[in-house]
């Protein structure tokens, strides 16, 4: 059978259409052998291969064969049943991964935003349990600075003088620190710091406005605000705590098809999982 031929399967009454080459990703699997008509579990009826198995779970089997990745919904719970199906089809690398549920189950990600308002300046510190998220936020946030004349905290527009981007402070892989507002320099000169958070293009100097934009950005990114508390009343430090499931789009664990003959999954975490 040509690798380009279309194959139709009916699994528990659910119809799937794919290429022969997809089913041959793991040559020793029953799906690959099925194409040679040497497996009695698969009946060829009117040009379609029929097998009396769970059609819903087979959709995850097909996704695995097409992408060589295990990508499950965040609310998925049928790991043992899917493992049993993988073993039935002879996809032992997939079955081995499903035995290790900790590689696939979502984890809870925690993020804190600490905000301090002191006279004409506002200070921010973001701490996250996942360093990848913190790194992504650091790439979205830009602080611009410049010495301005006669500027004030509530000035809606920066001076015409060019502003210089400043690198954010990164005390560790898990946090980022920045500030905005104005500070006296000499005479009527101010050192002004503006904050921009992508994809919003505005340069904001008012700390309350920056806080609002930051919180809105996190909410749009799938975080949920779980608590607000005052850490230090004397220093006026407020803490906003967020949480979300660590992999909203599902995990991405890649499998090497050459491991099929030994039945040992050579899996690696995707880039999304790095930095935990």
pLDDT digits (tens, 9 = 90+) for 219-273: 999 899 999 999 876 778 999 999 987 653 444 556 666 544 333 334 433 333 3
Question: Residue range 30-41: average pLDDT?
Answer: 87
pLDDT band, very low/low/confident/very high, at 62 (cuts 50, 70, 90): very high
What's the CA gap between 91 and 84, in Å, rounded? 10
DSSP 206: -
Model pLDDT, residue 161: 66
- Coil, strand, or helix at residue 219? helix
pLDDT at position 213 over 50: yes
CA count, 13 A, side-chain hemisphere, 92: 10
Of 45, 58, 60, nearest in space to 14 by CA: 58
Distance (Å) of CA 236 to CA 117, 123, 125, 230: 6, 11, 14, 7
Residue 52 CB partners (closer than 8 Å, separation 6+)? 12
pLDDT at position 215 over 70: yes
pLDDT band, very low/low/confident/very high, at 276 (cuts 50, 70, 90): very low
**Which helix (H) or strand (E) segment is 125 a member of?**
strand 121-128
Model pLDDT, residue 118: 86
Residue 249 CB partners (closer than 8 Å, separation 6+)? 71, 272
Model pLDDT, residue 40: 85
Q: To 5 degrees, how large is the angle CA 71–CA 72–CA 76?
A: 170
- Coil, strand, or helix at residue 189? strand
Say what the pTM is: 0.55
Q: Are 68 and 49 in contact (CB under 8 A)?
A: no
Model pLDDT, residue 107: 72
Domains of the chain with CATH codes: 6-105 (3.30.710.10), 108-246 (3.30.1410.10)
Question: Residue range 12-21: average pLDDT?
Answer: 94
- What angle do helix axes 92-99 and 79-88 make, rounded to 10 degrees? 160
């Amino acid at each position: 059978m040509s690798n380009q031929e279309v194959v139709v399967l009916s699994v528990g009454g659910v119809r799937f259409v794919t290429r022969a080459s997809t089913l041959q990703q793991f040559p020793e699997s029953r799906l690959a052998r099925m194409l040679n008509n040497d497996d009695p579990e698969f009946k060829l009826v009117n040009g379609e291969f029929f097998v009396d198995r769970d059609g819903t779970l087979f959709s995850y089997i097909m996704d695995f064969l097409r992408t060589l990745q295990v990508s499950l919904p965040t609310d998925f719970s049928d790991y043992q049943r899917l493992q049993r199906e993988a073993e039935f089809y002879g996809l032992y690398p997939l079955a081995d991964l499903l035995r290790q549920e900790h590689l696939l189950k979502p984890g809870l990600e925690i993020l804190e935003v600490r905000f301090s308002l002191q006279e004409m300046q506002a200070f921010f510190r973001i701490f996250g349990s996942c360093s990848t998220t913190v790194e992504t936020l650091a790439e979205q946030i830009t602080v611009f600075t410049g010495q301005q004349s006669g500027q004030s905290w509530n000035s809606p527009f920066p001076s015409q003088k060019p502003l210089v981007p400043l690198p954010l402070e990164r005390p560790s892989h898990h946090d980022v620190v920045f500030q905005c507002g104005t500070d006296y320099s000499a005479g009527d000169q101010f050192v002004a710091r503006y904050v921009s958070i992508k994809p919003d293009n505005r340069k904001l100097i008012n700390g309350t406005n920056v806080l609002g934009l930051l919180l809105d950005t996190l909410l749009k990114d799938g975080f949920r605000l779980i608590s607000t508390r005052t850490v230090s009343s004397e220093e006026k430090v407020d803490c906003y705590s967020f949480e979300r499931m660590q992999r909203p789009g599902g995990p991405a664990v890649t499998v090497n098809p050459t491991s099929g003959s030994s039945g040992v999954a050579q899996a690696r975490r995707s880039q999304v999982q790095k930095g935990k």
